[in-house]
Amino acid sequence: MKKFDVSPYIRVFTSGKIASVAFFGFSSGLPLALTGGSLQSWMTVSGVDLRVIGVFSLVGLPYTIKFLWAPVMDRFIPPFMGRRRGWIALAQIALSAILAFMAMTDPKSAPAWLAFLALCAAFASASQDIVIDAYRTDILEDKERGAGVAVFVTAYRLAMIVSGAFALILADQIGWERVYLLMACLMATSALVTFVSQEPDGAVIAPRSLKEAVEGPLADLFGRKSAVAMLSLIVLYKLADAYAGSLSTAFLIRGVGFSQTEVGAINKGFGLAATIAGALVGGALMVRISLYRSLMGFGIFQAVSTLSFTALAVWGKSYPLLFMSVGFENISSGMGSAAFVSLLMALCDRRFSATQYAILSSLSALGRTFIAPTSGFVVEAVGWAVFFAIAALTALPGLFLLSRLRPEVDGLKHHD
């Protein structure tokens, strides 16, 4: 009997490129809470009016519209460190400075100035995300994409814990001003690590004009065979995952009767660990499994996992079933994400990867943005058990479309 060799699945995680991607995942995830939940906590304990805190949610707008200035980052090359690392370092230095200024601002007496700084931080963070996504797309080879996505997601989530949960705990000990200064120092350190990271292949020719940087990505995407069907797949593939997830916390608390502590520990804590495990397993499997087979297999796994919440809704409050449902759903979601992000990366032309990835990732959010808000109405009409069954069924159009696009998906290779 032939011995099963696990070394190829492990070896893919040990390259310098994967290490750089993991580091950039941490750098990408760190600022998010600092302009969101952590900032909201700081303003709350400082006694800022709730209406003002509510308005601060608008500072997240740059993350939504970042594709608008992505062509600039494809077209122009900073005078140091190359087209990708140069922009990343600039964003990291800007973030470090902005966070330091935020640390020196009193939310109570200068909310408008803090809002401006938070908006600048969100813009710099979104810009960093644009180029980091392009860097990951450009530097990873076909078989490395799944592993690259897995380590990126892991580091990104860990960074969110550092700037979120850890920051809240630390703020009680040393105050928010020192916490933001600490985060500014972490971002400054990030720029130093960017300096020693590998730059993607410099032989790729950047767009020769801003017009080409704007028009070229769209012409390339829509000029391919089955372009509309492929872009529709981007919208539909994660729809079931997003639809079920939109009310999962509400279901566990109101629908089944678990406490907030139980939901926080199991759904958020254990669920996060399961998502990371799923991404790592999915990334490792993609060393030997084609992109199409990964998308199809993990996509079916995602759809079936949604039905575990139907079982929980029918059975009622059960801790073993809760662990099983949360673990199953999050592992499958992590595996599906590894394959799906690999698809987005495979669709990008290296000349325009910053713009194309920004467009494709925005397109992938359409289902979550426009379909998920109907979930509450469906639950009210048919109940929780049927709702999750319907959510599982919403995976079928994407999987059917994927089956029809197998030749195109199998033919995806890096574009130079």
Residue 49 to residues 35, 180, 241: CA-CA distances in angstroms? 17, 21, 36
**Secondary structure class of 383 (helix, strand, coil):** coil
Q: Are 275 and 333 in contact (CB under 8 A)?
A: yes
7-196 and 210-410, same CATH topology? yes
Mean pLDDT to the nearest integer, 353-359: 92
Mean pLDDT to the nearest integer, 128-150: 90
For 349, list phi and psi in degrees, rounded to 5.
Answer: -85, 130
Candidate CATH numbers 3.90.550.10, 3.40.50.10470, 2.60.40.10, 1.20.1250.20; the one for domain 210-410 = 1.20.1250.20
Mean pLDDT to the nearest integer, 203-215: 87
The band of 413, judged by pLDDT with boundaries at 50, 70 and 90, is low
Q: Are 309 and 271 in contact (CB under 8 A)?
A: no
Candidate CATH numbers 2.60.120.260, 3.40.50.720, 1.20.1250.20, 1.10.3720.10; the one for domain 7-196 = 1.20.1250.20
The domain limits of the chain are: 7-196, 210-410
Query: How far is C-alpha 85 from the geometric centre of its chain's CA atoms?
Result: 20
The yes-or-no verdict on residue 360 having pLDDT over 60 is yes
Give the CA diameter of the chain: 73
Place of tokens 């032309």: 349
Among residues 103, 89, 100, 95, the alpha carbon closest in space to that of 120 is found at 95
- Give pLDDT, residue 155: 92
Instruction: Give me the chain's average pLDDT, please.
Output: 87
The band of 332, judged by pLDDT with boundaries at 50, 70 and 90, is very high
Q: Are 240 and 391 in contact (CB under 8 A)?
A: yes
Among residues 314, 313, 304, 302, the alpha carbon closest in space to that of 248 is found at 313
Residue 233 identity (one-letter amino acid): L
The C-alpha R_g of the chain, in whole angstroms, comes to 22
- Give pLDDT, residue 136: 92
The yes-or-no verdict on residue 23 having pLDDT over 50 is yes
Quote the DSSP letter at residue 254: I
Q: What is the pLDDT of residues 240-277, one digit of tens each?
A: 888 887 777 778 888 888 887 887 788 778 888 898 89
The band of 356, judged by pLDDT with boundaries at 50, 70 and 90, is very high
- Give pLDDT, residue 416: 46
- Give pLDDT, residue 132: 95
- Give pLDDT, residue 105: 92
For 332-356, the DSSP string reads HHHHHHHHHHHHHHHT-BGGGHHHH
CA distance 381 to 373: 14
For 109, list phi and psi in degrees, rounded to 5.
Answer: -90, -20
Q: Are 260 and 253 in contact (CB under 8 A)?
A: yes
10 vs 21, higher pLDDT: 21
The band of 51, judged by pLDDT with boundaries at 50, 70 and 90, is confident
Place of tokens 């810009």: 127
Among residues 240, 238, 260, the alpha carbon closest in space to that of 250 is found at 260
pTM for this structure? 0.86
**Secondary structure class of 408 (helix, strand, coil):** helix
Angle at 303 between CA 299 and CA 306, to 5 degrees: 140
Q: What is the pLDDT of residues 383-393, one digit of tens each?
A: 889 989 998 99
Share of the chain above pLDDT 90, in %: 39
